[in-house]
Structure formats: C-alpha cells, structure tokens
Amino acid sequence: MPPSRHILSFAEYAAIRHPTPYVVEVARDGARLLLFGGRHSSQPADPMFDQIEAAFAKLSPAFALHEGTPPAVELDREIAIRRHGEAGLVRHLAARAGIETASMDIALEEEARLLRRELPQGEALVYLVVRQLASYNRKTARMDFDGYFADFFARIAPSLELSIDWPLIEKEHLRVLGRPLAARRVTAIETDPMRDELPTQRISRLSNRLRDEHMLGRLIAALDEHQHVFATVGVSHAVMLEPALRAAIEK
C-alpha cells in the first residue's frame, strides 16, 4: 500500500480534535523532519511566528520547505510576515541561516492543469481565483493588486486554456456561486474544505487531496536528501499528512 493511502480523508479529519499549532516530528536513518502546522496569518504579533522561529532555531535545518508559491526573500522579519505569512518568515529565516528553501506545493500551473482535467473551465477558474483573493486579502502588507493578479492570471491561463480578465471572472463567479464577486471581501470561507455550502468548498477537497499527495512526496524526498528538514504548512495539512509520513518512514 503506498504511503499516500494513509493521508486522512476530510471525514476522518473532521473527527479529530487537535491543537494549533500542530507539530509533527519524524526521523529516519539519522535524518529529522519537523513539520509545523499553523494557522494562516500575516500578523507579526501572532505568537505563532515566535514559535516557528524557535522551532527553526532548535532544529537548525539544512533545508526548509513551505506551502504555496515561493515568495520574495524579505530582509525585514516584520515585512516578511506581513507580505507573505509563514512562508515569508521561513524564507527570511533560511536566508539568514544560509540554507536553501523550496515549495512543497504543486506549482500553480500544474494544479490548474490537474483541476481542469476534473472540472469545467469556469469552476476551476473561480476556485483558483477566490482562493488567491482570500490569500491576498489576508495580508497586512499587500502588493499592488493589479500587478499581483496579472502575474497570477498569466500563470494559470495556459493550463485552463483561457484568456483571463476580471469581466470573465465576474461572469463565471456569478454562474458558479450564484452571487456577484466582491473581490476585496473574499475570505477563506469560500474555499473551506470542511464546509459544503459552496461548489468552491467542494472543489477545495479535491485540490487539497492533490496537494497533500504532492506534499508527501516532497517531504519524503527532502528527508532522503538532508539531515535536518524544517517545513511549515496549514494545520489541517499537517494533521492529515501525519499518518502517511509515519507510514512512509516505517516502510
């Protein structure tokens, strides 16, 4: 049985009560991996960021992984957090320590291609855009909106085989979700995989499963290549990946 079969389903996850942050530590042949599952935040005063930094320092990693697209490396810790959240802090800490980092996530282009294989174009587009809007709106130091989304559209458009602009997104959003798009007010609720009121929440379960399978492979590969690996991810991913990580280590 491949280790990915041990990734929890959302039904199994719903039955679990766990703390946040949630830390998973595994070891194999002298190599160690610490997976820090946190809440997505861009508030520098959130104590979680001190916990991430303390765990990073204690492990003294040789390599670090993060969720999502690799953000710019920021020299200032507060700016790193306000612009990029946990991934920004990890990139900041890694640069300070002189170690390499990478995303453990599926590249956006590949995720768009995989979703397009399973979904109509419009549904895949709306899901990816509202998820990105929620991420953008959560930041406490936001980049230029138009430039940020122009880059995002350029990355996903070829895989979706679409020419993407806001009028198209607004039309598809109304069709898929039955209400007008209010871009600046989108939150993570629209893509919460633990809810079932919206099509985008159901699509999120598919997306997260694809991403979890990819993350598992990246984590195991990193553990094979480096003595100490530090990784940050959303808390639900950490909890759902833990049984598969332990199964992979024992294999």
> How do residues 92-105 score in pLDDT, each as one tens digit?
999 999 999 999 99
Q: What is the pTM of this model?
A: 0.95
> How do residues 106-157 score in pLDDT, each as one tens digit?
999 999 999 999 999 999 999 999 999 999 999 999 889 999 999 999 999 9
- What are φ and ψ of residue 186, in 5° steps? -70, 135
- What are φ and ψ of residue 77, in 5° steps? -60, -45
Buried b (16+ CB within 10 A) or exposed e, 189-212: ebbbbeeeebbbbbbbbbbbbbbb
Amino acid making up residue 140:
T
Calculate the CA 139 to chain-centre distance.
14
Distance CA 220, CA 232 (A): 14
Extended beta strands in the chain, E state = 22-28, 31-38, 63-66, 100-103, 228-234
Instruction: Report yes or no: 48 and 41 within 8 Å, Cβ to Cβ.
Output: yes
